[in-house]
């Protein structure tokens, strides 16, 4: 994932049309929201699984 984020950063520096930035902005937002939700579920499961 680190390579993907670095690659995306370089791609966003190039001059693209506005739609490119809108779509990638939405994808980044969805990716971060999913990461937070799944991370929260994982933390709750980990806490419940402790003896």
For the chain, what is the domain count? Answer: 1
Q: What whole-number distance in Å separates Cα of residue 14 and Cα of residue 5?
A: 15
Q: Does 51 map to a domain? A: no
Q: Does 50 map to a domain? A: no
What is the reported pLDDT for 26? 92
Q: 6: domain range?
A: 2-45
What is the reported pLDDT for 51? 64
The closest of 2, 5, 7 to 28, measured between CA atoms, is 5
Contacts of 12 (CB under 8 A, 6+ apart): 21, 24
Q: Is the dihedral of CA 11, 12, 16, 19 positive or negative?
A: positive
Tens of pLDDT along 1-51? 788 878 888 888 888 888 988 898 898 899 899 999 999 999 999 999 876
């Amino acid at each position: 994932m680190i390579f993907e984020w670095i690659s995306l950063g370089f791609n966003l520096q190039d001059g693209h049309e506005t739609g490119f930035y809108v779509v990638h902005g939405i994808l980044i937002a969805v990716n971060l929201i999913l990461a937070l939700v799944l991370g929260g579920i994982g933390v709750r499961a980990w806490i419940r699984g402790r003896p």
